[in-house]
Amino acid sequence: MKKLLTLVLLLVTASSLQAKDRPDYKRQAETVTDHIQKTFFDSDSGVYFKTTKRDKLDWVWLQSVMFANLAAAARIEPEKYAQPMDAYFKALDGYWDDKVQIPGYEPGLTKGNGNDKYYDDNAWLAIAFVEAYETNRDARYLKRADETQRFVLSGWDDEIGGGIWWHERHKDGTKNTCANGPAAVGCLVLAKHEPEKAAALIQKARDIVAWTNSALQDSDGLFDDRKVVKTGEIKRGKLTYNSALMLRANLGLYRATGEQAYLDEAIRIGKAADWFLDSQTGVYRDALRYCHFMIEADLELYEETGDTHYLKRAQHNVDALYARWEAEKPDDMMSSACLARVLWLMSEVEVK
């Protein structure tokens, strides 16, 4: 009995030390989120300015990161952040174009009939709206997520074998990983809450992942940026957010289907993502607007596999990025929103 009590005390002490040594991510997340609210929020429009100059409202894809940040905050601190999230959701209607055949979000404030929509902008919002729905089961969020995802999927056609365009008028003439990855994730998060559509959404996610793998995945498992439809040229250049969303899409397909190949592929991408780390600092080389998506993917992969490599990679990045933020706060809204988002996610992590 004495040995058992000693063991229990040792375990409790070790656990307490581990918890004590971990940064207070919840406090940090709240600090950054409140800084954004104070520095960038425009009370007249209900959305956020792009920079500290406060002379231009931010584009919708940058607003989408702030909405995702508030969705995470509202899940963890609903009494403080649920109301601001809901008010922001309503204010984003300023970007919503319902005067077209398939409504969607314009990049800037619109009076309708804008026809300048980006499929990736809308994909980020669809994912964030599902997360908002999961905080309180308010059907408005799920309805708008479904409507937004309908626009995203309308960007798919059979040119070059499939894939979703970057822009509705085919600006740049490309189909991009940044549109297809989040489109697949959007299908899978919606499928969890729409049983009558689940089979079709999961199949669409399969199709999107298969096309993106064939068109834009490099031999190391990571993803190039985009493919020019007319010429077939692949625009090289690997960014964290492209591989991150494809990692999450594979994880989502594994969870939806139980097929081991999808988990194996997610792990392959996760291991390959060490390539993105700076050799001196161990921090992702990309700007926050891209690398925070990889941190989120790291946490999802850790949750699924229990492999602490991904947790340590995420934690090291978050700690370094918060230290940078404390030393010099960025002038743009999105960088702070990206950081706050991953801080909230880190605060929820249970170390296995």
Predicted pLDDT at 16: 38
Contact partners, residue 123, CB within 8 Å, separation at least 6: 148, 149, 152, 179, 182, 183, 185, 186
Residue 328 scores a pLDDT above 70: yes
Average pLDDT over residues 302-323: 98
Do the strands 104-105 and 234-235 form a parallel or antiparallel pair, or are they unpaired? unpaired
Is the per-residue pLDDT at 86 higher than 60? yes
> In the prediction, which pLDDT does 351 show?
74
Average the pLDDT over 142-168 and give the result: 98
Instruction: State the DSSP H helix or E strand holding residue 204, giving kind and residue range, or none if neither.
Output: helix 198-216
Give the model confidence (pLDDT) of 180-220 as tens digits.
999 999 999 999 999 999 999 999 999 999 999 999 999 99
pLDDT digits (tens, 9 = 90+) for 96-152: 999 999 999 999 999 999 999 999 999 999 999 999 999 999 999 999 999 999 999
Give CA–CA dist 192/188, Å, rounded: 7
- Closest C-alpha among 86, 118, 89 to residue 104: 118
DSSP 43-96: TTTSSBBSBTT--SBPPHHHHHHHHHHHHHHHHH-HHHHHHHHHHHHHHGGGGE
pLDDT band at residue 22 using 50, 70 and 90 as cut-offs: confident
d(CA 39, CA 330): 11
Q: Which residue has the tokens 């990889």?
A: 294
Residue 12, C-beta contacts closer than 8 angstroms, at least 6 positions apart: none
What percent of the residues of the chain are helix, what percent strand, and what percent coil, each to the nearest 5?
65, 10, 25
pLDDT band at 350 (very low <50, low <70, confident <90, very high): confident
Q: Which amino acid is at 338?
A: C
Q: Which amino acid is at 171?
A: K
* Residues above pLDDT 90, as percent of the chain: 93
Reading the block at residue 236, the tokens are: 């090289």
CB 81 within 8 A of CB 71: no
Distance separating alpha carbons of residues 74 and 315, to the nearest angstrom: 22
- Mean pLDDT of all residues in 19-45: 93
Predicted confidence at residue 19, as pLDDT, reads 52
Task: Detail the DSSP E strand segments found in the chain.
Answer: 96-97, 104-105, 174-176, 226-228, 234-235
pLDDT higher than 90, residue 20: no
% of the chain beyond a pLDDT of 70: 94
Residue 9 confidence (pLDDT) above 80:
no
**Mean pLDDT score of the chain:** 94
Single-letter code of the amino acid located at 120: D
The strand pair at 234-235 and 96-97 is best described as: unpaired
Pairing of strands 174-176, 234-235: unpaired
Residue 352's pLDDT band (cuts 50, 70, 90): low
CA geometry: angle 308, 209, 251, nearest 5 deg: 25
Rounded Cα gap, residues 5 and 105, in angstroms: 60
Note whether 310 and 270 are within 8 A (CB): yes
* DSSP code string of 82-149: HHHHHHHHHHGGGGEE-SSSS-EE-SS--SS-----BHHHHHHHHHHHHHHHHHH--HHHHHHHHHHH
DSSP label of 226: E
Model-level pTM?
0.94
Taking CA atoms, 180 is separated from 46, 50, 186, in Å, by 30, 26, 10
d(CA 351, CA 16): 12
Contact 283, 320 (CB under 8 A): yes
Q: Is the predicted pLDDT of residue 72 greater than 50, yes or no?
A: yes
pLDDT of residue 18: 52
